[in-house]
Amino acid sequence: MKFFADTADLADIRELMDTGLLDGVTTNPSLVKKSGGDFIETVTEIARICPGPVSAEVIALDHAEMMREAEVLRRIADNITIKVPLTIDGLKTCKALTSDGTMVNVTLCFSANQALLAAKAGASFISPFVGRHDDVGYPGMELIADIRMIYDNYDFGTEILVASVRSPIHVHESAKLGADVMTAPPSVIRQLFSHPLTDKGIAAFLKDWEATGQKIG
Ligand code: E4P
């Protein structure tokens, strides 16, 4: 499963890139607002730091304007993935862009039928929002299981990108269900590394090692 960072914070992206485990980045207008930076400058820098797919979202709601904005965004770098909302105009834009070889991430997916439409439109990634589903009392991970089954039934190449990840449990469940990618806030990615028994084990080994009085090398 690929790991994307769901952020527009450059320091966080640099730090996660240093682990060698980050495969891409997703941004959205809310994350850009939170970062406080200029949208184009921020996305340009992210695409420079991270060679993997970097999602940048169009703001327009109509197809013609989405195409115009996508043109501006895809000129930034080859690894820019155009993010479009799951609407009729969004999917028209998806079809046009992917036919032309541009990567597209279809966002704001909340049903398996929407995911089916995105795959038929040639989407590179579909982003089902699991956390926002949980927030309204629907188990978000069930949507991932449904989409996985449907995509496998028809051999769709669209990658399932689990979005709106809120905790390590979402990551664990995504991997068990065979999601292709998950995108999580840097804080959640950092949580994945830690376990109290790992910390306790290191402390015990260090204490015993010191008692031997030995050195390596
Ligand atoms: C990423 O592509 C999505 O925009 C993001 O995961 C949404 O997360 P949120 O529901 O926490 O805002």
Based on the residue annotation, tell me whether 83 is a catalytic residue of this protein: yes
In this prediction, residue 186 has a pLDDT band, given cuts at 50, 70 and 90, of very high
Q: List C-alpha distances in Å: 195 to 42, 147, 190, 191.
A: 33, 31, 11, 8
Quote the pLDDT of residue 17.
98
pLDDT tens digits for range 86-126: 999 999 999 999 999 999 999 999 999 999 999 999 999 99
Are residues 104 and 94 in contact, defined by beta-carbon separation less than 8 angstroms? Answer: yes
Prediction pTM value: 0.97
Quote the pLDDT of residue 20.
97
Quote the pLDDT of residue 94.
98
Considering the segment(s) 2-211 as one domain, its CATH architecture is Alpha-Beta Barrel (3.20)
| CA-closest residue to ligand 1 atom 8 | 164
Quote the pLDDT of residue 59.
98
List the catalytic residue out of 34, 83, 95, 215: 83
**How high does pLDDT run on average in the chain?**
98
Helical packing angle, 10-18 and 39-49, nearest 10° = 10
| CA-closest residue to ligand 1 atom 7 | 164
Q: Which two tokens stand for residue 189?
A: 């990615």
pLDDT tens digits for range 26-48: 999 999 999 999 999 999 999 99
User: What percent of the chain is modeled with pLDDT above 90?
Assistant: 100
Domain boundaries, the chain: 2-211
Indicate whether residue 164 lines ligand 1 (CB < 6 A).
Answer: yes
Indicate whether residue 107 lines ligand 1 (CB < 6 A).
Answer: yes
Residue 54: enclosing H or E segment and its boundaries? strand 54-57
Q: How far is the CA of 65 from the centre of ligand 1 (A)?
A: 23
Beta-bridge partner residues of 54: 25, 80
Quote the pLDDT of residue 156.
98
Tell me what the mean pLDDT of segment 155-182 comes to: 98
